[in-house]
Amino acid sequence: MPDQPIRRKRMTAERWVELLTTALDVMREVGYEALTMEAVAVRARCSKATLYRIWRGKPQMIVAALYATRRVDTGAIDTGTLRGDLLALCGQLVADVQRDTELLAALAHAVLIDPELASAMRTSLVEPESAALDGFVDRAVQRGELAARPAAAEFLPQLMFVALMARPLTEGAFLDMDYATRYIDLVIMPALLTNCPVVPPSFES
C-alpha cells in the first residue's frame, strides 16, 4: 500500500564483502580512473542506487573495499622484540604480496590527482597503520631495546611501503621473506638503532 514503508532486505556480511571484492576486481581490470559505480553495480548484480545508499562515491567505496579485504593486521602484532614485530609484519605482507602490490600500483596515480581519494586513504588506512608502527617503536623503548625514540621512526611507514612497492620495479620480483629479512636487518634496524640525528655537512669554506 502507498502509505506503508518499503522494507529493504538487510545486507548480509557475505554480500557486503562480495560487493567490495567486486569493486576491487573491476578496478584491477580497468584502473581507478575508468572505474564507475555503474560498472561495479553491473558486475555485482545490484542497482547503482544500492551502492550510493552505502557509499557517497567511488573513493569511499574503494577505501572501504581495501579496508574490508585487507589481510594485514598490524595492530595485532606483538612478538616481544622490535625486529620480531617487523618480521611478523613482513610475513603478513608476503602472504598476499601480489594482490596488494597490484592494488596499490593501480591507485598510485589516482591518489595524486584525486584529493578525496587521497584523504580517505590517509584517514582509513595510512594513519591507523602508521599508529601501529609507532606502537612497535614505543614498546621497543619501554623494553629498553632503544635508548630513546629514534629520529628515523618518523619514516618507518615510508620504509615499509618501499619494501612492498620498490622490488617489482628494481628487481622484477615481489617481496619475499628472504628479501624482507635482509631489508630489515641491513636498512631498517640500523636506522632505528641510531638515535643521533644526522648533521648535514657544512658548505662553508
pLDDT in tens, 116-144: 999 999 998 889 999 999 999 999 999 99
Alpha-carbon gap, residue 41 to 34, rounded angstroms: 14
- What average pLDDT does the segment 51-56 reach? 92
Name the amino acid, one letter, at 194. T
Short-list 62, 68, 72, 77, CA closest to 27: 62
Alpha-carbon gap, residue 131 to 141, rounded angstroms: 15
What CATH number does the domain located at 13-67 have? 1.10.10.60
The predicted structure's pLDDT at residue 197: 45
- What average pLDDT does the segment 168-181 reach? 92
pLDDT confidence bin for 99, thresholds 50/70/90: confident
Asked if residue 201 has pLDDT above 60, the reply is no
Please, where in the chain does CATH 1.10.10.60 lie? 13-67
Least confident among 32-41, 89-98, 100-109: 100-109
CB proximity list for 24: less than 8 A, separation 6 or greater: 62, 65, 66, 69, 103
Short-list 120, 116, 99, 117, CA closest to 108: 117
The predicted structure's pLDDT at residue 100: 83
Per-residue CA distances from 59 to 22, 113, 157 (Å):
15, 12, 22
Helix axes 156-171, 97-113, angle to 10 degrees: 110
Please, where in the chain does CATH 1.10.357 lie? 71-193
The predicted structure's pLDDT at residue 198: 44
pLDDT per residue as tens digits for the range 58-96:
999 999 998 888 877 888 899 999 999 999 999 998 988
What CATH number does the domain located at 71-193 have? 1.10.357
All three cell numbers of 69: 579485504
The predicted structure's pLDDT at residue 178: 96
